[in-house]
């Protein structure tokens, strides 16, 4: 990454950040409140109404919400960010890959803050942090690469087909329920469970949960999700680069 690329990314990310909380009273607190409120709603529904019986369900759920929330927000923000930069792309040449990367980085910083909130919760629970907890960073890298690859594909396609954003919104909803965010994988009938492992997000989510809640580092989850993430990242990146030549004409 050369100097120009880095500074451009920083500048885009900073602008995104400033514009997002411009004029709102609570400002950045919103990105902390958002997952907390989602958590409160889902917790009431599934723990009080549906009466899920599970150890540490609140931590289990909160981890699921912030990880899923990152994937959900990052892909959608990237799509919007590319779309709103169309006027610059029509006039100025700069590496188009920066836009999506910058947008993902901004969202990822928000995710890290949410993760600190999670660690704070952990301190007040019976669970203890171990050396193993640090290895969750490995899964975060997978999550970032996977999300970036998909962001590239979705954001690029959206410039060509404006329908993409509507389709993506529905797909996100579908995947929210196909990913064990609120329920545990153990509740899924064994005959279906096999298919869940083809969803790299499931591997990452379960991998991180295993680290914090079970104190296990699942090597096979890690390596398979790394492989998935790399494949998705590189396909997304090259597809996007191919499309980006025409961005100025499509928008």
- Residues contributing to the site for another protein (CB under 8 A): 3-4, 7-8, 10-11, 15, 18-19, 22-23, 85, 87-94, 160-163, 245-246, 248-250
- Name the nearest CA neighbour of 110 among 47, 150, 67: 67
Neighbours of 246 (CB within 10 A): 12
Residue with tokens 């193993």: 132
CB of 29 to another protein, least distance (A): 19
DSSP 131: G
- The minimum distance between CB 236 and another protein, in angstroms, equals 20
**CB-nearer residue toward another protein: 12 or 68:** 12
Ramachandran quadrant class, 23 (left: phi over 0; alpha: psi -120 to 50; beta: rest): left
Nearer to another protein, 8 or 239 (CB): 8
Nearer to another protein (CB atom), residue 7 or residue 220:
7
Question: Rounded CA gap, 30 and 120, in Å?
Answer: 18
C-alpha to C-alpha distance for 43 and 130, rounded to whole angstroms: 26
Nearer to another protein, 84 or 125 (CB): 84
Q: Are 206 and 180 in contact (CB under 8 A)?
A: yes
Instruction: Give the shortest CB-194-to-another protein separation in angstroms.
Output: 32
| Least distance between another protein and beta carbon 68 (Å) | 27
How far is the C-alpha of 164 from the C-alpha of 155, rounded, in Å?
A: 8
Tokens of 220: 């096979």
Q: Give 66 or 98: the residue with its C-beta nearer to another protein.
A: 98
Q: How far is the CB of 182 from another protein (least distance, A)?
A: 32
């Amino acid at each position: 990454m050369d100097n120009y690329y880095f500074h451009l990314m920083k500048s885009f990310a900073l602008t995104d950040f400033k514009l997002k909380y411009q004029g709102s009273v609570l400002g950045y607190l919103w990105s902390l409140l958002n997952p907390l409120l989602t958590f409160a709603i889902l917790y009431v529904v599934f723990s009080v109404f549906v009466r899920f019986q599970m150890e540490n369900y609140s931590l289990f759920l909160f981890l699921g919400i912030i990880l899923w929330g990152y994937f959900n927000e990052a892909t959608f923000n990237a799509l919007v960010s590319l779309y709103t930069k169309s006027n610059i792309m029509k006039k100025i040449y700069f590496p188009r890959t920066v836009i999506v990367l910058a947008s993902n980085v901004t969202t990822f910083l928000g995710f890290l803050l949410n993760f600190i909130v999670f660690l704070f919760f952990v301190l007040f629970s019976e669970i203890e942090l171990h050396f193993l907890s640090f290895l969750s960073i490995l899964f975060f890298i997978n999550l970032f690469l996977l999300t970036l690859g998909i962001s590239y594909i979705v954001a690029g396609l959206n410039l060509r087909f404006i329908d993409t954003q509507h389709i993506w919104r529905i797909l996100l909803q579908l995947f929210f329920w196909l990913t064990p965010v609120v329920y545990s994988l153990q509740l899924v009938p064994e005959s279906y469970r096999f298919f869940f492992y083809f969803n790299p997000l499931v591997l990452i989510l379960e991998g991180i949960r295993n680290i914090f809640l079970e104190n296990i580092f699942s090597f096979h989850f890690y390596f398979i999700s790394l492989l998935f993430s790399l494949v998705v990242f590189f396909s997304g990146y090259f597809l996007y680069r191919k499309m980006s030549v025409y961005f100025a004409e499509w928008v």
